[in-house]
Amino acid sequence: MMNKISEIVKHGLLLIGSLTFSSTMAQNYEAKVDSLMKRMTLQEKIGQTVMYSGSWDQTGPIVGSNNGKYIREGNMGGMLNAFTVRGTHDLQKIAVEETRLGIPLLFGYDVIHGHRTIFPINLGLSASWDLKMVEESARIAAEEASAEGIHWTFAPMVDVSREPRWGRISEGAGEDVYLGSQIAKAYVKGFQGDDLSKPNTILACAKHFAAYGAPQAGRDYHTVNMGEGELRDVYLPPFKAAVEAGVETFMTAFNEINGVPATANKFIFKDILRKEWGFNGFVVTDYTAINELVPHGFAKDEKHAAQLALEAGVDMDMMSGANRLYLEELVKENKIDEGLINQACKRILLAKFKLGLFDDPYRYIDEEREKTTKYKPDFLDKARAIAAASSVMLQNNNHALPISKNTKKIAFIGPLVKDEYDIIGNWAAKGDRNGKAVSVFEGISEYLTSNQILYAKGCEILKEDNSGFKEAINVSKAANEIVLVMGEGHHMSGEAASRTNLKIPGIQPELIKQIRQANPNKKITLVLMNGRPLNLSEEVGLVDAILEVWFPGTMGGAAVADLLFGEVNPSGKLTVTFPRNVGQVPIYYNMKNTGRPIPESNPKEDYKSNYIDVSNSPLFPFGHGLSYTNFNYSDFKLSSDTLTFSGEIEASVTITNTGKMDGHEIVQLYLHDKVGSVTRPVKELKGFQKIFLKQGESKTVRFTITAQDLKFYNNQMLFDVEPGEFEIVIAPSSNFKFQHKFNLVD
Ligand code: GLC
């Protein structure tokens, strides 16, 4: 079967006439695309800008489509939610053999934190601050996805967010623009590799452009209003970083920005993305986003919406059908310039050439590779290590952790102890939820004998049924130590999953309370699986240790056990602030000082920017994370207290592992621009290094600072620096007091 196909492929390529070419000519794609487009009808060019969904997954409202028909008509350039070698082969065969020009399809899918081997959710992975691990996870995801015929992932999601009510905070890299930008680059490199013509690389997609992470009231798809300065200083840089890393595609955001929906927003797509940043890949809309211009109240009907989106610089229409239905008509009515369609079609064809799909449309079709790639032992090992490195030990009172493997009886209680379903989180592509993932219960069984383990589910995640409490309390009383494994269901974060309440859901908090009451002096550890910062204000006083493991993925339970028993030393640090309660939201580490900050000398002073019921400080700050060992910061040095516009200074500190265990430490550099032509955040992360220190070992960590690091959008909306005084610190988290400064001089 496949041999016959390769014969047809050769024949199919001849169908493109004078375009028969070998991959050695792959460099001058433009000429090939131009030549192909000369042969294409307007309708065929429009067809390339159309994408519908296959039936292998559902990632949005189902709108009826007839894929085979559209492909045969040349009315489809890409397809999402279609994969497996067999599935993509059969669809590609229609495109290549049953259409006039045999232009291959592009298959895209949401490979967000793994395809089959699932890594921690992205918010969790970001807490590893480990760019190598981020890249590795994307590389493995690309290996598994491409082995199933996928050419393109709708990732990385690079939306900065300070909104824990917003379910999709789970998909990003947290609240910081600098860290988010570095992580964006690592994902793009991992997915796209160093040569897109290789069949184990896939196009990446920076999404959702832009500012989707700042919805009013934390409600998904909601309105975004912000000044251009904040947009440019905080929400755009990770996208720019993705462009600098060579990302091939962008995806529009569902939200409006200051009254203009992103999907029809010329300012961000033409002025910024194309003109300022020089992006030359293609832009795809989010799912039915063109049609949504009508309910946004920005387009009078779907035909008008198609016109507005194309004019704004959108190239491919995901799922709305507006391009297929209206673009030809709009050209004939002289309402849009055919050149816009040519430009969109060209960008999409260029991507297909880069992937080598014109050389061989079936190059991602390899049944043997599909069989042997998924869940490779090395992939699973990496997933286990990454899940452990992504976990954050928020609290560890009374040295509750690590737990001795010789403990006589340990009670494991909670709805997520034996979970193999939620543990891989939301947006888990084709991750298995029926037994492949390692539960915490399975993981601890590698360390304990069965008679050391006591278990009770206690309650469900959401159901208000406390009939299991009695058994759970009895089990807890029979144990020497207690481990609670609790949190959210995976569907409680991700898309269309905003919450107004950040508490651990259901009656789990009540169970925690009753277990503490029944065991006033026993060590209790809370292992948390969740897709967003939670309000743990009550729990911090009820349990001794809190281990935030997010949704840790396919090997999550094994990683949790590695951490609980000290096989792995926790090293993760928060990339998003945990508030004391939802009333503080938005709360993030680098807010502005205001004109009435609370004076350290007199926190109770009146008429200051404070609450009367809760402190301004978060429960757990950005950059926070504990270790089983201790790291001492000493001997801060600055090579000069003056920095010139063209010069550089070096800041350094010595870190010593003063504890009894080897471990990683994430060392963070923060600056504060004290005075600006616009007010500046009270602190900004400007560098970090993750180091490994054996017990007793010391290392000097150095950061170089230049004026480039100090740029921001000033009151003229120019990205520039301004002379003046800067404070500087190298610290283990964002919770510090500045003690050093330097001056930037012109
Ligand atoms: C969804 C998401 C987007 C995803 C797309 C395709 O609505 O917003 O992130 O890539 O549709 O599934």
pLDDT in tens, 664-707: 999 999 999 999 999 999 999 999 999 999 999 999 999 999 99
* Residue 129 amino acid letter: W
> For 232, how many CA atoms within 13 A lie in the half-sphere containing its CB?
20
pLDDT of 64 reads 56
- In angstroms, the first-to-last Cα distance of the chain is 71
Instruction: Kindly state the percentage of the chain with pLDDT values over 70.
Output: 96
- Ligand 1 atom nearest 154 alpha carbon: 10
Q: Please give the Cα distance from 417 to 524 (Å, whole number).
A: 15
Number of other CB atoms surrounding residue 83 within 10 Å: 28
Structure tokens of 725? 């005084």
Please compute the mean of the pLDDT values over residues 539-551 and round it to a whole number.
Answer: 98
SS3 115: coil
Query: What is the overall mean pLDDT for the chain?
Result: 95
Pocket test for ligand 1, best of 55, 57, 59 (most atoms within 8 A of CB): 59
- Determine the distance separating the centroid of ligand 1 and the alpha carbon of 279, expressed in angstroms: 21
Q: Which is more confidently placed, 20 or 628?
A: 628
Q: Which residues contact 436 (CB under 8 A, 6 or more apart)?
A: 375, 420, 554
Q: What is the pLDDT of residues 274-291, one digit of tens each?
A: 999 999 999 999 999 999
- Determine the distance separating the centroid of ligand 1 and the alpha carbon of 745, expressed in angstroms: 47
Pocket test for ligand 1, best of 55, 107, 110 (most atoms within 8 A of CB): 110
- Ligand 1 atom nearest 59 alpha carbon: 12
Please compute the mean of the pLDDT values over residues 288-306 and round it to a whole number.
Answer: 98
pLDDT of 18 reads 37
Q: Would you give the DSSP letter of residue 316?
A: B
Q: Please give the Cα distance from 44 to 468 (Å, whole number).
A: 62
Q: What is the pLDDT of residues 412-448, one digit of tens each?
A: 999 999 999 999 999 999 999 999 999 999 999 999 9
Residue 7 has pLDDT above 60, yes or no: no
Break the chain down into helix, strand, coil percent, rounded to 5: 35, 20, 45
Q: Please give the Cα distance from 201 to 190 (Å, whole number).
A: 8
Residue 65 has pLDDT above 90, yes or no: no
Q: What is the pLDDT of residues 520-544, one digit of tens each?
A: 999 999 999 999 999 999 999 999 9
How far apart, in Å, are the Cα atoms of 239 and each of 14, 156, 206? Answer: 39, 10, 6
- Phi, psi values for residue 3, rounded to 5°: -60, -45
> Would you call 366 a catalytic residue per the annotation?
no
- Determine the distance separating the centroid of ligand 1 and the alpha carbon of 592, expressed in angstroms: 33
- Residue ranges lining ligand 1, Cβ < 6 Å: 59-60, 80, 110, 154, 207, 286-287, 495
SS3 693: strand
Q: What is the pLDDT of residues 186-240, one digit of tens each?
A: 999 999 999 999 999 999 999 999 999 999 999 999 999 999 999 999 999 999 9
Exactly one of 286, 360, 419, 562 is catalytic; which is it? 286
Q: What is the pLDDT of residues 237-259, one digit of tens each?
A: 999 999 999 999 999 999 999 99
pLDDT of 517 reads 98
- Determine the distance separating the centroid of ligand 1 and the alpha carbon of 59, expressed in angstroms: 6
Please compute the mean of the pLDDT values over residues 495-523 and round it to a whole number.
Answer: 98
In order of their start, the domains of the chain are 1-105+337-375 (no CATH), 392-584 (3.40.50.1700), 631-745 (2.60.40.10)
* DSSP sequence for 198-241: STT--B-EEEEETTTT--GGG-TT--B---HHHIIIIISHHHHH
**Cis peptide upstream of residue 295 (ω within 30 degrees of 0):** no
Banded pLDDT at 21 (limits 50, 70, 90): very low
